[in-house]
Amino acid sequence: MRFVLPIAVAAACLGCGGNGSQPSAGNPPDAAAPVAPNGSGAAQTSPGGTLTGTIVFDGAEIPAQTMVPIATDPEICQKHGMDGLYPMEDYVIDRQTRGIRYVIVYLQSDAIRKWAGTPRQDATIDNRNCRFEPHVALATVGSQVEVKNSDDVYHTTHLYGPAGFQYNPGLRAKGQSERTELTRPGTYIVKCDRHGWMSAFLRVDDHPFHAVTDEKGRFEIKGIPPGKHRVEVFHEKFGERPIAQPAGGNTAPEVIEVNIEADKTSTLDLKLSH
């Protein structure tokens, strides 16, 4: 499925330290002062740059969110839905800007793989109002995810991760929580085994250079080491990019690359479609 069309890639100096006009969306803490990769521990000699942009829907009609009947624990969950239905937050698209919320944007390159000094970036996934909050979360390898229950109803928080990873604590009582360490990079799917409409996503990387788009489809990643980096994106309905090469096919997967310069902001705007 082809779903991503790059519409602009540019670099411009918007001020020292990469302070662009776009607001941050899911930036890791302390990412503005990266250190050397591959465990050397030495400070990076040049300051990092910033990648910012907007991801919008490319199509004639904006799709509506999927609505699921509230068949389980309706006495608790119906007050948080709409007419007995619960939105799955799969298509959260701004009607004016067409910006898509909850797109995960992350970088991939040898220069940042297993980035030394990657900050701890713990994540919390709360069962609140019969939904997961947040719908999309970010974390780094070696950090922890805390799963909580803020509802007066029994929830599970079932994580499905890379290489068969599963974590599925049952949270029977309001205020109950559990934690586990995240050791594998990749995209995790989160489900509640009791309430079929509840889903969320967790992105774990071995570096801090990732973000989630906001309600206008905007993202920003700071402190990126200068050089060329591959950009990959994931959305629960539009899929992920780059697209895997078909079995036996001759077409190479499409790749988006950005050139990051010290103290400058590079811009990457994308369109997604089915």
Would you say residue 250 lies in a domain? no
DSSP-derived 3-state class of residue 17: helix
From the list 198, 159, 194, the residue with the least C-alpha distance to 179 is 159
Is residue 93 within 8 A of residue 57, CB to CB? The reply is yes
pLDDT for position 12: 38
Q: What is the pLDDT of residue 254?
A: 73
Q: Do 212 and 51 meet the contact criterion of CB atoms below 8 Å apart?
A: no
Q: What's the confidence (pLDDT) of residue 11?
A: 39
> Does 113 fall in a domain?
yes
Q: What is the pLDDT of residue 249?
A: 58
Q: Is 164 a domain residue?
A: yes
| 43 within some domain | no
3-state secondary structure of 9: strand
Q: Is the residue at 59 inside a domain?
A: no
pLDDT means per 10 residues, the chain with 274 residues, are 43 36 41 39 64 96 96 96 96 97 96 92 98 98 98 97 94 96 97 97 98 98 96 95 60 81 97 92
Query: How far is it, in rounded angstroms, from Cα 131 to Cα 87?
Result: 9
User: Please, are residues 148 and 126 in contact by the beta-carbon 8 Å criterion?
Assistant: yes
| CATH number reported for the structural domain that contains residue 184 in this entry | 2.60.40.420
- Domains in the chain: how many in total? 1
Q: Which domain holds residue 208?
A: 64-224
Query: Quick check: is 271 in a domain?
Result: no
Q: Is residue 96 part of a domain?
A: yes
101 is a domain residue = yes
pLDDT at 1: 32
Please provide the DSSP assignment of 195-253 as one string.
-TT-EEEEEEESSS-EEE--TTSEEEEEEEPSEEEEEEEEETTTEEESPPPPTT--PPP
